[in-house]
Amino acid sequence: MELNALFLNCTLKKSPEESNTEGLINMVRSHFDELGVESEVIRPVDYNIPFGVVSDMGGNDEWPQILDKIKAADALLFATPEYNYSMSGVLKNAIDWASRPPDQPFNDKPVAVMGASPSALGTGRAQYHLRQSCVFLNMHLLNKPEVMIAAAQTKFNEQGQLTDEPTRGFIRELLVNVAAWTRRLRQS
């Protein structure tokens, strides 16, 4: 595989509990294989990442494992639900931690954003808040298409598979674009 991408699944549900976010990522990963992109998923809620940004919390802090994976990835894909009109606290905590090392790993990193929510607006508000953080941290956001799946309960089946064909088309376009965007930024 030519590129490697890291998904941050920022659901509040611990593994192995299913979520719409997990169903979305599973669909995406199958298409990435076709594009020559290797991918890995991290679900930050499954790790012991304390709140706060003290550089050495000691004890059983699992943050360094995630930080190394972010650094090694050619591209990041944030998949987030929307909570209280914003990104999940899990995602915000992960960004806060990663942005603290002297050489924060988000700088110049190609990034795509996606999400699914039962609300009528999908994850639009969460994604726009996330985009503000990405700009501050100098990530290179893919602008189009925006994948903000609304009424997720009508677009995923009981097995957590995305069944809505127009939505699948947007996602395929996003994947092609993020792979091309990452390759383009690597050349510069």
Domains and CATH numbers, the chain: 3-187 (3.40.50.360)
Specify the pLDDT at position 43.
Answer: 94
Specify the pLDDT at position 38.
Answer: 93
Average pLDDT (106-121) is 94
Specify the pLDDT at position 58.
Answer: 55
The alpha carbon of residue 186 and the mean position of all alpha carbons in its chain are separated, in whole angstroms, by 20
Query: Is the pLDDT at 54 greater than 70, yes or no?
Result: no
What token pair was written down for 113? 């954003």
Return the residue matching tokens 């110049």. Answer: 108
Q: What distance in Å separates the CA atoms of residue 98 and residue 100, rounded to the nearest whole number? A: 6
Residue 89 burial (CB count, 10 A): 14
- Please report the DSSP string for 5-63 in residue order: EEEEE--SSPTTS--HHHHHHHHHHHHHHHTTEEEEEE-GGGS---SS--S---TT--H
Q: What distance in Å separates the CA atoms of residue 32 and residue 68, rounded to the nearest whole number? A: 22
Supply the pTM of this predicted model: 0.91
Q: Could you read off the pLDDT of 128-143 as tens digits, one per residue?
A: 999 999 999 999 999 9
Q: Could you read off the pLDDT of 137-178 as tens digits, one per residue?
A: 999 999 999 999 999 999 999 888 899 999 999 999 999 999
